[in-house]
Amino acid sequence: SQQGEEDPQALSIQEGENATMNCSYKTSINNLQWYRQNSGRGLVHLILIRSNEREKHSGRLRVTLDTSKKSSSLLITASRAADTASYFCAIMNSGYSTLTFGKGTMLLVSP
């Protein structure tokens, strides 16, 4: 299936540092989305980037997309302890039917 693969699986940083997570995929996409999940809770949509876009910003979030390398990155700047969560990339395929999720990156931000 067209599953995104996040890297790293886990990331531990200090408050104030930047956190970068990567997502790779295999075939053509319509868009790529990032979601956040606090422990055991429902996922929350963070940001969407379309296949014809290269970069998007939302607050402290910056997402890039490189369709030639079939990869995306999520940057969280000036991390806070409250950013501690799992982050998932999700692929919307070119047929525009359903989202396929990766396995996620667990981010721990220490005070």
Query: Other CB atoms closer than 10 Å to residue 1's CB: what's the count?
Result: 8
Q: Which range binds other proteins by CB under 8 A, 13-21, 35-43, 57-65, 74-82?
A: 35-43
Tell me 83's DSSP state.
G
- As a whole number of angstroms, the distance between CA 84 and CA 38 comes to 7
Applying CB under 8 A, among 19, 23, 33, 85 the residue interacting with other proteins is 33
Contact between 24 and other proteins by CB under 8 A: the answer reads: no
Two tokens, residue 91: 């692929």
Two tokens, residue 87: 């982050």
Contact between 54 and other proteins by CB under 8 A: the answer reads: no
Provide the binding-site residues for other proteins, judged by CB under 8 A.
Answer: 1, 3, 30-31, 33, 35, 40-45, 48, 50, 88, 90, 92, 96, 98-104
